[in-house]
Structure 1
Amino acid sequence: MPLEVQHLTEADLLQWTIIHYEAFRGTTVGMCWARRPSDESFAERAKARSKALSDPNSHAFKCVDTDLNNKIIAVSQWSVYPKERTWEEVEEGLKPRPMFPEDRADVRKAFLTGIYNSRRENMGTRPHVILESLTTHPDHHRRGAGGMLLQWGIDQQDSLGLLGYLEGSSAGAPLYKKFGYEHFREIIFDTREYGGAEVDVHLAMTRQPKARPSKD
C-alpha cells in the first residue's frame, strides 16, 4: 500500500509508455490510436520519450507501490522554464513525436493542434512551470498517486515564484483545482469529425505561486 515518488529512469521508459496507453485508450484521446501498439511500437515510443530525461528543463517522476515490488502505478513529467525563451525554443518544444503504424495521424494532429495553440497563445515565451503529462494506470485510480506527483511541480512554482500551467481533462479537473489551479479556457476536440461520438473538452488551467513564509 505505501506509495513513494521517485525519479523516473531510462529503465522505466517502456512502462511509462504502456501506462500512458492504458490510461487513455478508453477515453476520447484514445481515438489517436487505430489499434493497440505492437511490442515493437511500444519499444520505439519508449525511446522517443528519452528526451524527458535528457532535456535539462524536463523532470520526470514515477509513483511506485512499495508493497508491489516498487511497481510503477503513475508517472508525471514537468518542464520548468525559469527564464524567458525565444519563439524558436518554444516551437522546438512543441514538435510532436514520430508517428507509428498504429497512430491515426489526422486525429492526433487535430487533438495536438488545440493543445499546442493554447500553449502558444497563453504561455508563449514567458517563464512558467508546465505539467506536460500526468498518467495513472486505471487499476490504481483514487489512491493518491496523482496528488503526490503534483506536489513536486507545486513546490517548484512556489519556490521559484513562477506561474503554473497545464491542460487537464474534465475528469482530472477536480484534482487540479484542489491544488490551486483555476480553469480559464476550454480546448475543444470534436471527435465526431473522425467517427467518434462526443466532444472532448480539455481545460487550460493556471496556478499563481504562493509566497513562501519569511524566515525572519
Structure 2
Amino acid sequence: MEIQIRNATEKDLPAVAQLAGVAFHPTTDWITRQVFPLHLQPKNIPDGEAYLPWRQLRKTVSYNTSNSAVIVAIDTTLDNQIVGFAVWDQPIEDEQLPAAPAEPELPPAVSDVKIYEELQAILKEDHRASFGDRELKDVWHLDMIGVDPLHQRRGIGKGLLTWGMRQATKAGRDCYLMATPQGRPLYEAFGFEIVRPLNMFGVMHHSMIYRVNKEAIL
C-alpha cells in the first residue's frame, strides 16, 4: 500500500508546516493572501516564506493540545514522505479544556492582524449559530486538511477525511468544517450538508456538518 495514514510525531511537524505552506500558498489560497498581503512580504525571500515559523508553531500547538489530533499521510514508496495532513479537534470531555487550541500570535510585520481577527470572529459566530453557546465542544471539527499539489487525485484527502469521520461515527458525534470552494465537492460526496454560506472577503465558503448515523460504518 503506497499511502498510509498515521498520527503525526513531533519530528513530522516541520514537514507538516512546510506542506501547509505549499497547500495554502498565498498565490493559490484566497484567505492566506488576505491575512498575509503581498505588500507586507519581504522582497528578499520568496512569497510565503516569511511566516513559515508561525505555521510550524501553529501545528506544534495543535500537536500538544490534548483534544487535537494531527494526522499525516505518507507515501511508502518515497521513503515515507509526508504528502498530506489533517488537523482534527475532538469533542471536549473535560470542561476545563478549551474548545480549540490557542492561536499563536501572528508575525505582525508580514500579516494583517485586523483581517485575521475578523476571520476568527466570522468563524466564532458561525460556531455559535450552528451549535449554540457550546460552539465546537460536542463535535469533531476538521480544522485543516492539506494535500501536496504534486500528489493530488490519489485519494489522500479522502483518507484523511475518512480517518476523522470514523472516529466521530464510533463516538456518535457529528463532524463540522468550513469548506473552501475547492473542497466543497469532496465533502458533499462524503455526506456533509451545507448549513449556511459565508462570504469571506469576497469568496463564498460554506459551513458544513456531517450528521452521524450511529449505526453507520465508514
Aligned residue runs from structure 1 range 1-216, under 5 A: 2-24=2-24, 25=26, 26-31=28-33, 32-34=35-37, 35=41, 36-38=47-49, 41-81=51-91, 83=93, 85=95, 89-90=98-99, 93=100, 95-100=102-107, 101-123=109-131, 124-125=133-134, 126-190=137-201, 199-212=202-215
Give the SS at the match of 2:90: strand
Larger deviation, residues 149-158 vs 205-214: 205-214
Larger deviation, residues 2-11 vs 204-213: 204-213
Asked whether the 8 Å contact 1:94–1:116 carries over to 2, the reply is no
Q: 1:111: Cα distance to partner?
A: 2.5
Give the SS at the match of 2:98: helix
Which amino acid is 1:173 matched to?
Answer: R
Asked whether the 8 Å contact 1:170–1:201 carries over to 2, the reply is yes
Which amino acid is 2:98 matched to?
Answer: E
Point out where structure 2 has 5 or more consecutive residues left out of the alignment.
Answer: 42-46
Separation (CA, whole Å) in 2 of partners of 1:137 and 1:71 = 10
Asked whether the 8 Å contact 1:115–1:187 carries over to 2, the reply is no
Larger deviation, residues 95-104 vs 175-184: 95-104
Separation (CA, whole Å) in 2 of partners of 1:213 and 1:130 = 19
Q: Which residue of 1 aligns with 2:44?
A: none
Which amino acid is 2:141 matched to?
Answer: I
C-alpha offsets along residues 104-163 of structure 1, whole Å, 9 cap, x if unaligned? 223322323212221232134151111111111222222110000011111112111111
Q: 1:203: Cα distance to partner?
A: 0.8
Query: How well do the aligned residues superpose, as a CA RMSD in angstroms?
Result: 2.4
Asked whether the 8 Å contact 2:21–2:52 carries over to 1, the reply is no
- Compared CA separation, residues 22 and 99, structure 1 to 2 (3 A): same
Length, aligned pairs only: 202
Q: Percent identity?
A: 21
Point out where structure 1 has 5 or more consecutive residues left out of the alignment.
Answer: 191-198
